[in-house]
Amino acid sequence: PPRSTQSRSSAASDVYKRQVLVAGSETYWNYRHQADVCHAYQILIKNNFNPDNIIVLSKNDVAYSHNNHFQGQLFNKPSFDQVGENVNEGCKIDYEGVDVTPENFLSVLKGNVSGVTGGNGKVLRSTENDRVFINFVDHGAPGLIAFPQGYLYADDLLATLRYMYENSMYKELVFYLEACNSGSMFLELPTNWRIYATSAASPNESSYAYYCYPKQDLVQGLHIFQCLGDEYSINWMEATEQGNLDETLQEQFQTVKSKTNQSHVLQWGDLSISSQPIGNFLANNYQGSLNEQSRKSVSYTHLTLPTIYSVQISVVA
């Protein structure tokens, strides 16, 4: 399929950064997913990204739901009796409503303008000089992740990532995936495609919601009556906000893994990429105090899945 082009004002050797953020669920019951994605958007904007280089897919049916005490607003962490941060403010959504589909998501990743329907037609315009960051948040099951309209299967995601690799659509790609059984989407991810992924859960377990009723869903003294976020997502975003951009992806992984108590956070693909600072993917105009030569190299062998223990809790991701 045809891939759109974009004028680049700097030299071809410059590294550009592109982001794709997806909330795959719908209805107020899934408040947390759309709040997670808009929080991720706010982090990128605060780190000086151009909104034109961020693509967001979200049903966008929560902020103005009749169930929402705070019309037009979303909160990703409790503020108790304080005002709190409205992560929906300025969150620009490119595909919403019935346009949030697996087909549109895959066409966006391929840069296939003719393959998308609805929305504003925005697709990835990346080249071999670009770093790409993908964040997907929703429900999942073994071998699939959910959308409001249908499911995306692991084989189809892998085929799209193969297309991106074979068509030189990135220098390196980082994929953060929040869903139950999310590890099952990366079981066949090769280690030589320059893709580094982390999953909220192993292939055979759930991931879990966070900041939930009755004690932690409070905003301005009112109960939201839904979970405000997801454990893995909250942990990587709060680590990004509280940490320093020189922290490596591996260091962030260890932080998120240690703080995520209800599922096993795992990493997949080309794990050597994890030696890079998070600023290479989550901050624009990042220079960094570490360069490629001085940064400590990280060597990995095969991934061994941990033993999975049953966890009893009421709300899954």
Residue 151 — pLDDT band, cuts 50, 70, 90?
very high
Question: Residue 298: its pLDDT value, please?
Answer: 41
Question: Residue 15: its pLDDT value, please?
Answer: 62
State how far the Cα of 157 lies from the Cα of 165, in Å rounded to an integer: 12
205, 199 contact by CB (below 8 A): no
Question: Residue 316: its pLDDT value, please?
Answer: 64
Is residue 5 pLDDT above 60, yes or no?
no
pLDDT in tens, 45-59: 999 999 999 999 999
Is residue 273 pLDDT above 50, yes or no?
yes
Question: Residue 311: its pLDDT value, please?
Answer: 32
Percent of the chain with pLDDT over 90: 84
Is residue 20 pLDDT above 70, yes or no?
yes
Mean pLDDT value across the chain: 89
Residue 35 — pLDDT band, cuts 50, 70, 90?
very high
State how far the Cα of 140 lies from the Cα of 230, in Å rounded to an integer: 13
Average confidence (pLDDT) over 265-283: 97
Average confidence (pLDDT) over 247-258: 98
Is residue 82 pLDDT above 90, yes or no?
yes
Q: pLDDT higher for 271 or 3?
A: 271
Please identify every residue annotated as catalytic: 139, 180
Question: Residue 243: its pLDDT value, please?
Answer: 77
Which of these, 198, 180, 109, lies nearest to 143 by C-alpha position? 180
Which of these, 49, 97, 42, lies nearest to 74 by C-alpha position? 42
Question: Residue 16: its pLDDT value, please?
Answer: 82
Question: Residue 287: its pLDDT value, please?
Answer: 84
Question: Residue 289: its pLDDT value, please?
Answer: 64
Sequence length of the chain is 317
Is residue 313 pLDDT above 80, yes or no?
no
pTM score, whole prediction: 0.89
Question: Residue 97: its pLDDT value, please?
Answer: 98
Residue 285 — pLDDT band, cuts 50, 70, 90?
confident
Is residue 303 pLDDT above 60, yes or no?
no
Distances (CA, A) of 113 to 54, 117, 171: 16, 9, 21
Percent of the chain with pLDDT over 70: 86
Question: Residue 85: its pLDDT value, please?
Answer: 97
Average confidence (pLDDT) over 246-270: 98
